[in-house]
Amino acid sequence: MVPDIPDFAGRERLSPRELQVVSLLVHGLTNKETARELGIAPKTVHTYLWTTHLKLGVSRAVHLSLLVYGGLGAVARAIVADEATLPST
């Protein structure tokens, strides 16, 4: 299942598959996990990320996360929200 991500600047430049890759990665999945979830090769995930970075003008995954979530405070809130949905151990 691909989690939703908020609207962000440049979202309209990305293809639906690029948005899926971005969503999984900003929610903490690795390239391999993202590939497995989407049924594609890890190299294909890498290619989607490369084109996404070019289209959005970012150079690192952390910059992509900050763009999607609107800054560090928003990223922290998203992490806390995700942790709140995890089962307690």
Rounded to an integer, the average pLDDT of 34-61 is: 91
How far is residue 62 from each of residues 17, 40, 87, 88, measured CA to CA in Å? 19, 23, 26, 27
| Higher-confidence position of 12 and 68 | 12
| Higher-confidence position of 57 and 49 | 49
- Confidence at residue 77, expressed as pLDDT on a 0 to 100 scale: 55
Structure tokens, 78: 């998203």
- Any domain includes 5: no
Mean pLDDT of all residues in the chain? 79
Residue range of the domain that includes 33: 12-84
Is the per-residue pLDDT at 36 higher than 90? Answer: yes
> What CATH number corresponds to the domain at position 29?
1.10.10.10
Share of the chain above pLDDT 70, in %: 75
